[in-house]
């Protein structure tokens, strides 16, 4: 059987890296998108190539011209796309509502929300041709229960959840659209919050630890598989119970 092709945005580190590697382990060709660090992207490519085939593309997904170029490269090389993982995201600090600048507010929305809309719109036709297309958005628990210290990020991820529901309806029946809402995962982004906040989060998480990027990747691979063909429009929290009320 011909291998399926998956695109993972923001795949040079953290959750995106783990997603790319696990999809490769599940026999996907993986397109590794990165924006800044080519060296890290090449390291991910080396790991992906241990299991399958990888291809790296530099693109700023907050820029529609870069997305268009990425689309043209994927169409030219593979002429197909079966899975789109909208993972790229960033918290731009300071992110508190009292301190965030107009520029950082807009930049946060562009990276975390606008990119999801633009990538979905751009790649939807290729995904439809797959007849079993998958879109998996990486959201956040703060998109469900907003956090004032990261207000723009919360608003953006809430928007991702809304897009997930809307596109699940608009793109059915050929494409499923779901979102994963990670809680506090052990990545560079989480570590940037500082040791005090991390310890507080662990104390208030029933599982008493941070999540692992691989634990998000496993769910992505499941949602990308035929086993998840009747699941769409869902926002699935992976937070170790932190989100329980």
Cis before 173? omega within 30: yes
Report the percent of the chain where pLDDT is more than 70.
98
Percentage helix, strand, coil, to 5, in the chain? 50, 15, 35
* Residue 190 or 51, more confident: 51
Reduce the DSSP state of residue 158 to 3 states and report it: helix
Would residue 107 count as lying in a domain?
yes
Query: Domain of 76: which CATH number?
Result: 3.40.50.720
Give a yes or no: residue 243 inside a domain: no
Joined together, the tokens standing for residue 239 give 């937070």
174 in a domain, yes or no? Answer: yes
**Of all helices (H) and strands (E), which one includes residue 69?**
helix 64-77
Q: Which of 51, 153, 218, 242 is catalytic?
A: 153
244 within domain boundaries? no
Residue 230 in domain:
yes
pLDDT of residue 126: 97
Tell me which of 76-80, 134-138, 187-191, 230-234 is least confident.
Answer: 187-191
Mean pLDDT within 173-197:
86
Average pLDDT of span 223-238: 97
> What's the confidence (pLDDT) of residue 128?
97
Handedness of CA 193, 105, 122, 142 (dihedral sign): positive
Parent domain of 65: 5-237
55 given a catalytic annotation: no
Closest CA to 89 of 106, 69, 109, 119: 109
- How many domains does the chain divide into? 1
């Amino acid at each position: 059987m011909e291998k399926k092709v998956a695109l993972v945005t923001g795949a040079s580190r953290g959750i995106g890296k783990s997603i790319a590697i696990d999809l490769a382990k599940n026999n996907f060709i993986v397109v590794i998108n990165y924006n800044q660090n080519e060296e890290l992207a090449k390291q991910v490519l080396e790991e992906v190539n241990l299991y399958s085939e990888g291809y790296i593309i530099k693109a700023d997904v907050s820029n529609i011209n870069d997305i268009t170029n990425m689309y043209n490269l994927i169409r030219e090389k593979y002429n197909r796309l079966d899975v789109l993982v909208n993972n790229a995201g960033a918290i731009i600090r300071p992110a508190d509502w009292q301190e965030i600048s107009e520029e950082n507010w807009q930049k946060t929305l562009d990276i975390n929300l606008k990119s999801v809309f633009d990538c979905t719109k751009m790649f939807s036709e290729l995904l439809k041709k797959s007849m079993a297309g998958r879109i998996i958005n990486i959201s956040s628990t703060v998109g469900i229960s907003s956090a004032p210290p990261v207000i723009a990020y919360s608003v953006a991820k809430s928007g991702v959840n809304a897009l997930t529901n809307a596109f699940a309806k608009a793109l059915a029946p050929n494409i499923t659209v779901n979102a994963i809402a990670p809680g506090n995962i052990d990545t560079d982004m989480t570590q940037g919050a500082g040791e005090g906040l991390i310890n507080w989060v662990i104390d208030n998480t029933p599982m008493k630890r941070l999540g692992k990027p691989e634990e998000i990747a496993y769910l992505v691979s499941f949602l990308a598989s035929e086993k998840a063909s009747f699941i769409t429009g869902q926002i699935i929290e992976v937070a170790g119970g932190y989100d329980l009320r």
